Amino acid sequence: MSSKKVLLMILAIIIGGISLYLNSESDYTGDLETPVAIASLSQLAVDQVVSIEMTLGDSTLLLLRQNQDWSIPSAWDSPADRAEVNRLLADIRSIDVPEKRASSASSHDNFQVGPVDGLRISLLDASGSSLGDLVLGKTDGPGRSFIRISGEDAVYSVTPNLLFRSGFGGRSLNAGNWTDKNMFQLPADSEVRRLTIGSSEGVVRLELEDPTSADSTESSASSEGQEDRVWMIVEPERASADSITVKGILSSLKNVQSAEPTDPSDLAAIGLEPPVSFLEGEFEDGSTFLLQFGHDTALTIAGQGVFARLAGQNRAVVVRSYVRDSLIKGLATLQVPEEQPPVQSDPPADAPATTDPDPDPDPDSDSDG
């Protein structure tokens, strides 16, 4: 082969390599000047966002702002977790340090930013105009995400990790993940003075009383030398209440959490009108609260639950069964346990009779002197 042909072959190989390099996607292109579409997210007017539309494949989820609160129309207008929504908007506003990873649509599946597996987030103002529109892909390490701007092909790795939140648990769009789980919280600076518990066993009423007026042995001296107020059962019959049980109920009232939302349109069908069981409390200022519990039901994910609601709200939820069980107690549980007399055991039936090992303590009594 002539040297001319060899030179032409080498030249062809070099040209082919250059062409392949120029037409291929580089996985890591490093830092670059922030694209205008991404830079504009840092100027997002969070207070002007009135709706957030999220789409993943065939699933959609809409969050609507109502003053400072958010609701979820597809979950019977249940309140959304305001802190979680605000954190999502803050994270979108903080998107920074972009690294371009691809520039063609053929790469979208690799980064999960395509039309099927990409999680699109559209932010709209009151007029329906777009304030931001991006497609969220998979995570890129612990603190980064792959994203692309809707309508564009380029894929970027950015900070922060936008998927790192309970709302996107399992990379899915589940309305229950975005609902406000708080059903009721006992105010920290309040004191409950009356409790009424209704169940299939009947109604039990309890009151917090001064020990001088309470027929109870449960009172004890405080560190200042004054006696504490005690809980008494006043209905169905007057008796001392078990302080540990009552304190457990009050502790559970500090954080009553729902598991998932449910349809409130037919309260009778789910056992909430009238309720199967209930707990009513009255504060020192005379204000009251009423927690109602209905029929048992299976949770969507796993486990057993029970329908519940806070009276006065249009919202119904499902709570885990232990939530109800920690609040609804029967009379036998609320009463002070009766002291049982000590049990005296009988001696064994075949116990041998006691014998004197030395019937004659005087060894000289039979001697001749």
Query: Where do the structural domains in the chain lie, given as residue ranges?
Result: 24-180, 183-217+227-334
pLDDT (tens digit, 9 = 90+) per residue, 144-174? Answer: 999 999 999 999 999 999 999 889 987 889 9
d(CA 165, CA 90): 13
pTM beyond 0.85, yes or no:
no
Residue 353 has pLDDT above 70, yes or no: no
pLDDT band for position 351 (50/70/90)?
A: low
pLDDT of residue 216: 45
pLDDT of residue 349: 58
Fold entry, domain 183-217+227-334? Immunoglobulin-like (2.60.40)
Residue 360 has pLDDT above 60, yes or no: no
**Between vectors from CA 141 to CA 152 and to CA 136, what angle results, nearest 5°?**
30
| DSSP assigned state of 166 | G
Percent of the chain residues topping a pLDDT of 90:
69
238, 306, 328, 331, 359 from 201: Cα distances, Å: 17, 18, 10, 8, 66
pLDDT of residue 131: 96
pLDDT of residue 36: 87
Let me know how long the chain is. Answer: 369
pLDDT of residue 32: 55
Residue 362 has pLDDT above 60, yes or no: no
Q: 52-90 burial, b for 16+ CB within 10 Å, e for fewer?
A: bebbbeeeebbbbbeeeebbbeebbebbbbeebbeebbe
pLDDT band for position 316 (50/70/90)?
A: very high
